């Protein structure tokens, strides 16, 4: 069974930090690109970050560049999203998914466009004072 499970969300004050985890079962994250996505209240889901399987190349949405870092631990079959300097506009449900990364010349279709992608259940991140 192919499955992704997110964890690590919660309530933090502006300027605070959280680390989200995405743990995979049924496949290895070192052979599948993984992306982080978020859906703010009342808005469409958007891509936040992506990490390739082959060489760990990463990409970030402009809104999070310099603040968020995506990484992968193959031994734990887990992808992380370290979120620093959090802002109220970062409030959203955060999801991980199998995906193509935008910098990939061979497969660049986002999980937002690929019906075969596997999604986690999501974890809530709330940034508020």
What residues in the chain have per-residue pLDDT under 70?
none
Q: What is the pLDDT of residue 27?
A: 83
Residue 110 contacts residue 103 (beta carbons within 8 Å): no
How far CA 65 is from CA of 69, 103, 105, in Å, comes to 8, 15, 22
Q: What pLDDT, on a 0 to 100 scale, did the predictor assign at position 122?
A: 98
What pLDDT does residue 30 have? 83
User: How is residue 6 written in tokens?
Assistant: 């997110």
- CA–CA distance, 83 with 90 (Å, rounded to integer): 9
5 vs 121: CA distance, rounded Å: 6
Tokens of 69: 């870092």
């Amino acid at each position: 069974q192919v499955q992704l499970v997110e964890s690590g969300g919660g309530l933090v004050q502006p300027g605070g930090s959280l680390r989200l985890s995405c743990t995979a079962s049924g496949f290895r994250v070192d052979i599948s690109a993984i992306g982080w996505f978020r859906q703010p209240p009342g808005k469409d889901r958007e891509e936040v970050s992506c990490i390739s399987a082959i060489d760990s190349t990463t990409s970030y949405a402009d809104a999070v560049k310099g603040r968020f870092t995506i990484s992968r631990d193959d031994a734990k079959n887990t992808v992380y999203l370290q979120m620093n300097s959090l802002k109220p506009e970062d409030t959203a449900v955060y999801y991980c998914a199998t995906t193509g990364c935008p910098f990939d010349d061979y497969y660049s279709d986002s999980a937002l466009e690929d019906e075969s992608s596997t999604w986690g259940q999501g974890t809530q991140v709330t940034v508020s004072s």
